[in-house]
Amino acid sequence: MRALYKSAAAPGLELVERPEPQIGPEDVKIRVLRTGICGTDLHIQRWDDWAASAVAAPLIPGHEFYGEVVEVGDLVHDVEVGDLVSGEGHIVCGTCRNCRAGRRQMCIRTKGVGVQRDGAFAEFLVLPATNVWVHHSTIEPEVGALFDPLGNAVHTALAFPVVGEDVLVTGCGPIGLMAIAVARHVGARFIVGTDVSANRLELAKGMGADYTVDVSSHDIHEAQRALGMREGFDVGFEMSGAPTALPRMIENMNHGGRIAMLGLPAERIAIDWGIVVTHMLTLKGIYGREMFETWNAMGAMLQTSQTLHDAVASIVSDRFPARDWEQGFAAAASAGGGKVILDWTEV
């Protein structure tokens, strides 16, 4: 099969021939149709300090995908040949305390698809059947390829009740944009998005943001004044990882406000913990998706809301044949746009 391959612990990827993966009795083999390019994949291509510390090369990267089941193991049930699927990219041990308690997203021995084991930038992928998500309703292939990052957005947006609440979203990259759409879908009152990219702020308005702030030149308090808010934001989604984002968010929260943090900081962040204590703020870390409550929630929302489906589909800004993967990676690295999709029917 054709696959994007990192042959050694060094910068770069190659489109090469690799052996097709073989299934075990509890596995599913998937013909990959579409993949999304994630920031993690860019780190792996560049082979930066994070990649060198976390990734097991040689490796086929990629974890955002949509495909068709072509083979199932003898012990597999509920997944059939011909099913159109996406997949949970965290392979869990099944025996640690959290796994046994049904909190698989908190497994202490998680292995990442496309990070510690071969991933989806290939014509075929093998996953445990328990990680396969079957799409029982019609969705666009590009939307199916976004179920992994959409799950991050849904996990963040549903971390706290948002019905009737005022929501601040710092960071309007693809996941932040989808979180805005989800918050709008479930009934937030005012939603404010912040970024430093004019293009992404415009996209945020299309997702349902009532107001946007370019934090390179404006203050978030301006949004509160413009919307007639008097007591600060009730819920915050910190999606950027920027060192200034969380402190600014904390300054703009109402007493008792709740913050869900998905963005991974690239450096230490100085926080006024006195405000956190005296304003009784709640900060919650978000990683990946709940297995599989998040998947159920996003599947149901997309099935019942064409508006939300179309909003997620609009996140895709570029599509490339898999053979043109270098152009795809360059587009994904340029920032300021939406998601980039590779089409593995054209390899």
Contact predicate 201/195, CB 8 Å: yes
Q: What confidence score (pLDDT) does residue 206 get? A: 94
- Written as six digits, the tokens of 33 are 């149709």
CATH superfamily assigned to domain 153-285? NAD(P)-binding Rossmann-like Domain (3.40.50.720)
Cα distances from 320 to residues 93, 332, 337, in angstroms, run 35, 11, 15
pLDDT tens digits for range 17-73: 999 999 999 999 999 999 999 999 999 999 998 899 999 899 999 999 999 999 999
Contacts 24+ apart (CB under 8 A), 183-191: 183/157, 183/208, 183/237, 184/208, 185/301, 185/305, 185/307, 185/308, 186/157, 186/158, 186/162, 187/162, 187/163, 188/162, 188/163, 188/164, 188/235, 189/164, 189/165, 190/166, 190/227, 190/229, 191/166, 191/167
Active site residues: 40, 43
* Token couple for 311: 């909003």
The domain limits of the chain are: 2-146+315-343, 153-285
Domain made up of 2-146+315-343: CATH architecture = Alpha-Beta Complex (3.90)
Region 90-106: mean pLDDT is 96
For 167, counting Cβ atoms within 10 Å of its Cβ (0-12 exposed, 13-18 middle, 19+ buried), the class is: buried
Region 306-320 average pLDDT: 95
Rounded Cα distance between 339 and 323, Å, is 18
State both tokens at 207: 């997702």
* Residue 84 structure tokens: 């159109």
Confidence tier at 242 by pLDDT (50, 70, 90): very high
pLDDT tens digits along 280-295: 999 999 999 999 999 9
| DSSP β-bridge partners for residue 339 | 316
Q: What is the pLDDT of residue 83?
A: 98
pTM of the model: 0.94
CA–CA gap between residue 194 and residue 298 (Å, rounded): 24
Strand duo 191-195 + 167-170: pairing: parallel
Q: What is the pLDDT of residue 136?
A: 87
